[in-house]
Chain A
């Protein structure tokens, strides 16, 4: 059973960089053809996909966030990470990490495992 766990600071100051890590257990981050995504949800609002990474390091980002987002992977630690720069109050949200299916490809991708989510508040 694959499990994901987000970790990182719960409070970030405006203009600084938000950094989160997702630790994967119960399976290798390099196995199959999985992509690994970050998704966020402001309080009372909908889901916003941030970006995804493959074990090789290949990435895709939401165009609306691309200039501020970096997702990286550390296969030796079975982790992937999110960095979001120049944050504002609008970046306050619950951040989820998720797996894009065991064999994501050709559109056959879906978020089958999720972390519990971590609340990040941007405030001075």
Chain B
């Protein structure tokens, strides 16, 4: 099984800040890494797929990078609506797995 580890588990930031969330896989997953945003009481929303491709409608302040085992999600200028929990997910193996999540809170 491929284990996904996110860091940090939680993060406090202010509107306008640049933030980076890291996701590490227990083995190489090439570029098959996806990112989701989840707000309380809602289903997750796809932000980025295959490391760096923005899903339609996702603002360009979101970006992703990485390959192999180490990946990052960056939000360039935080907006109030970005405060949420973020999850990475690998699709390299057909036995999918998620990171434990990173909760992004307002400072």
Contact = CB atoms under 8 A, between A and B. Distances in A.
Interface of A: 37, 46-49, 52, 60-63, 96, 98, 100-101, 107-112, 114-117
Nearest to B85: A46
Contacts of B96: 37, 49, 52, 109
Interface of B: 1, 29-30, 32, 34, 36, 38, 43-46, 49-50, 55, 87, 89, 91-92, 94-101
11 contacts: A47-B98, A49-B95, A49-B96, A49-B97, A49-B98, A52-B94, A61-B95, A108-B32, A110-B34, A110-B49, A110-B91
Contacts of A110: 34, 46, 49-50, 89, 91
Q: Which 5 A-B pairs rank lowest in CB-CB distance, beginning with the nearest?
A: A107-B32, A114-B43, A110-B49, A109-B91, A49-B96
A14 B27 CA distance: 37
Contact of B46 (A46, A61, A111): A111
Given A46-B87, A46-B100, A47-B87, A111 B95 contact: no
